[in-house]
Structure 1
Amino acid sequence: MTAKVLVVDDIPANVRLLQAKLEADYYDVVTAHSGQEAIETAIIEQPDIILLDVMMPGVDGYEVTRQLKELAETRHIPIILVTALDGRDDRLSGLEAGADDFLTKPLDDVILFARLKALVRLKHLSDELRQREQSSRRMGLIDANQLHRQMTAPGNVLILDDQVRQAERLMVALGEQHRCAYETDPKAALKIALGRVDLLVLNLAARDFDPLRFVAHLRSSELTRQLPVLGLFNPDERPTLLKGLELGVSDVLPRPVDIQELLARARGQIRRKRYADFLRASLDRSLELAVTDPLTGLNNRRFMDLQLTQLMRRHLKTDDPVSLLLLDIDHFKRVNDGFGHDAGDEVLKEFARRVSQNVRAIDMPCRLGGEEFVVLMPDTPADAAQTIAERVRQAVAEAPFSLPDGRTLDVTVSVGVSSLLGLGDTLEAFIKRADEAVYEAKQSGRNRVILRAA
């Protein structure tokens, strides 16, 4: 896995040594020799990960980490703090500052590269979402206050451990800040993980089940692939640790568990997941807005054009029938002129609701524009489409529409029906036939369905 790594150390020999090791493993390496230079280089180079020495003159690694995590340009970059210090307070200081991991000198190369690959993999998964963030902000789809609330709210933590007493201790400790539950059965845990779980704490030293197989199963399922896993490992079981990181464990913590470090690592994993979830939801909203009419909630013309092209392609390949309804509300201008645009909007929304309730699940109602609507009908011959069109017409005409001021209004619709005719037919001709049928319905007195088969 190739990636760009920023190596930061005030001792040139340390930088050269790390650079040589990383480049031998095909990493692209950039370097910095001070805290301030590290910040500037990170902004310009946008590395995939930062290896940052803690003990530097001037701005130390903790402060560099805090500043990088405060900058919008760099807060997404994982940081591994590297230091000769191995005290509990030092690790906690680094994690609290925003670091993703904390490695001590002399570096264990195998552990270093395992952590690099794990963190780079996580970053690559989130990069596409992050790139969408700016466009989502421009569209007003990201509320900074809502994002802050979501990222700092208590998380849903599931503990999977075959040692009940340890699981209970973990649940009590994590329960001070989060909503927690524990399971000893991996099958039961997997069912829970399909729900709203923000973090899974897994005992990698479990003996009653295979924790590595459980991780592999999580990562093979689309529904649980993004779920963060914090693995608890025995320091003397190095192969298990390395295999866990390779399979997709997000973060690791040695046993016996330091509760404060557990809380710090859990908080970091939950915040990262909440951020990714928020961006995915924002992206979903932006995609929905791109193909949805904001007034009626129906699909818009852009969606209709895309679907028509696909339906036409499939029709020419398989000869499956495709039909279309073109609906035009009768005398709609009189509604706007006589009752006001608010009344007109209410009529359009109620009309869309009645159409949606009277077509089938496979049909695709769309608002073409103004008072014109279209229903795309895959796998539907002309006679079936005409029957459904008549049902829609009756649903519109049978009950008055309620207006915002309490008055009611009778509304009718003229409907044109057309179907694709196979080779030689075109989308333009398909739509034109429906349009001509609507015109005929209008000329014939409105409030009727006309089929234009050819």
Structure 2
Amino acid sequence: MSGSILIVDGVATSRIVMKARLGQAFYSILQAVDGGAGLKLARSERPDVVLIDHSLPDMDGTEFCARLRSDPETATLPVVMLGAKGHPEDRLAALEAGADDYLTRPLNEALLLARLRSLVRAGEIEAELQLRDDTCRELGFAESAAGPEKPARVALVADAQDDGVVWRTALAAQLDTAVDLLPRADVLSEVPGRPVADVFVLAIGASVGPGLGSVAGALDVMSELRSRAATRHAAILVLLPRGGPAAAAIALDLGAGDVVTGPFDPREIALRLGHLIARKRRLERLRACVSQGLRLAVTDPLTGLYNRRYALPHLARIAERADSSGRRFAVMVLDLDRFKRINDTWGHSAGDEVLVRVAERLARNLRAGDLLARIGGEEFLVVLPDADLPTAQQLAERLCRLIEAAPAVLPNGAEITVTLSIGLAIGDPTQPGGTDGRSLLDRADHALLAAKAEGRNQVTIDRPAA
């Protein structure tokens, strides 16, 4: 995995050794001799991970983290702090200042590289979502997320119930969020009404001695969580006994967001959970914005129906399926009669209201699998999969009657009677070119023109030449 690492260390030999280590893993290396230079490089180069020493010539590592986090341009850059001592208070201070991890020298190279891979991978996911969101915004398809975020939920999964109760109590005292205790047997079961956790703390095998066996159970559960749609994007923190760097490296490489290898310290775990929750919230916001942007890209903003951008490819897919199944399908083009007169008489806001009401009535009278789209100003497209001519004609005539029988009621109480003209064409897999979507759309459109010419408020059927 390629990526750029910024090393901030006042000791030249330490920078050289670290550069050699990481260079062998094909990382691009940036170097800074003190905190001030590191902050400038972080802002200008935007590295994938910042690797800093606990003690810098001009500031300590915690001040560097705090200043990095206070700058919007660098606030989300992953940071790993390296310390000569493993004092719990130093680790807590680093995490409180915003570091994603605190590793002690002498470094376990496998664990260091696994941690970097994990952070680079998470950063790439966030960067990809941010890029898509930026594109949606440039195209005008994005909207701001609405409403406050729900409080995060944490699920603690433990083998031993007694230990789990003690750990949950200690964690709940440190967190401003709910902590649910789940036995391993229940974590993967779907219980109606039980909310899905945002973060899973896997304390499975936490009482086992050092080695790969201590992480096997947690990895099994983690794999299941990653394979299920409801929990695929949940954050995961794995608790391991002291002295298990090989197991920790495997857990990180297989998808854990964080790993704690020391004894259970609720303060440290709470800080790490806070980082995981913050990252998950950012990703959720980006996913929601991208999803909303994609929805807006294929949706008519006035009626909420699909637009032409979506309708034409969907028509092509229906045609492909008809070719495979040998079943006919129907294409209708619907147009409101004398719609310009409505706009000229009542105003464009009244015309918009009429379009919305007509769209609602059409949607209520179609099957779930039918396609309904607004493809022009007052023009709609309906595609009926698995429909022959008698079925489609009967529906088209019923739609004409329904629209005419129910005037559109404006907010001021005024009623506007509306009628439809409909052109209908049948896609027939038994005929040469009989399922070409574009051709069928043209044929339905020509039939619509004939319906208009013959008096409006009627259905005209395309009759291909024999």
**Same fold per superposition (TM over 0.5):** yes
User: How far apart are 1:216 and its partner, in Å?
Assistant: 1.9
User: How far apart are 1:140 and its partner, in Å?
Assistant: 7.9
User: How far apart are 1:227 and its partner, in Å?
Assistant: 1.2
- Determine the C-alpha separation between the residues in 2 that align with 1:198 and 1:184: 17
**Identity fraction in percent:** 34
Kindly provide the CA deviation profile for residues 244-282 of structure 1, in whole angstroms up to 9, marking residues without a partner as x: 223211112245322211211111101110110110000
Question: 2:358 matched to which residue of 1?
Answer: 351
Contact 2:237 2:260 in 1 (8 A): yes
Letter in 1 for 2:283: A
SS at match of 2:20: helix
What pairs with 1:38-437 in structure 2 (closer than 5 Å)? 38-136=38-136, 138=138, 139=140, 141=142, 143=144, 149-150=148-149, 154-175=151-172, 176-191=175-190, 195-206=195-206, 210-312=217-319, 320-420=327-427, 422-424=431-433, 427-437=437-447
User: How far apart are 1:136 and its partner, in Å?
Assistant: 4.8
User: How far apart are 1:383 and its partner, in Å?
Assistant: 3.2
Change in CA separation of 1:207 and 1:445 when aligned onto 2, cut-off 3 Å: farther
Letter in 2 for 1:64: F
- Determine the C-alpha separation between the residues in 1 that align with 2:439 and 2:218: 61
SS at match of 1:369: coil
- Determine the C-alpha separation between the residues in 1 that align with 2:280 and 2:32: 30
In the alignment, structure 1 segments of 5+ residues that lack a partner are none
Question: 2:451 matched to which residue of 1?
Answer: 441
Q: What is the root-mean-square deviation of aligned Cα atoms in Å?
A: 2.7
User: How far apart are 1:404 and its partner, in Å?
Assistant: 1.0
- Determine the C-alpha separation between the residues in 2 that align with 1:390 and 1:203: 64
Provide TM-score, normalisation by structure 1. Answer: 0.90
Contact 2:384 2:392 in 1 (8 A): yes
Kindly provide the CA deviation profile for residues 203-239 of structure 1, in whole angstroms up to 9, marking residues without a partner as x: 0425799222111222233442321111111103444
Change in CA separation of 1:109 and 1:359 when aligned onto 2, cut-off 3 Å: same
- Determine the C-alpha separation between the residues in 2 that align with 1:3 and 1:135: 23
Q: 2:460 aligned to 442, 450, 454, which one?
A: 450
Letter in 2 for 1:453: R
Contact 1:316 1:423 in 2 (8 A): no
Provide TM-score, normalisation by structure 2. Answer: 0.88
- Determine the C-alpha separation between the residues in 2 that align with 1:188 and 1:355: 44
Change in CA separation of 1:195 and 1:135 when aligned onto 2, cut-off 3 Å: farther
Change in CA separation of 1:72 and 1:313 when aligned onto 2, cut-off 3 Å: farther
Letter in 2 for 1:450: T
- Determine the C-alpha separation between the residues in 2 that align with 1:234 and 1:5: 29
SS at match of 1:226: coil
- Determine the C-alpha separation between the residues in 2 that align with 1:419 and 1:72: 57
Change in CA separation of 1:320 and 1:5 when aligned onto 2, cut-off 3 Å: farther
Change in CA separation of 1:21 and 1:225 when aligned onto 2, cut-off 3 Å: same
User: How far apart are 1:396 and its partner, in Å?
Assistant: 1.5
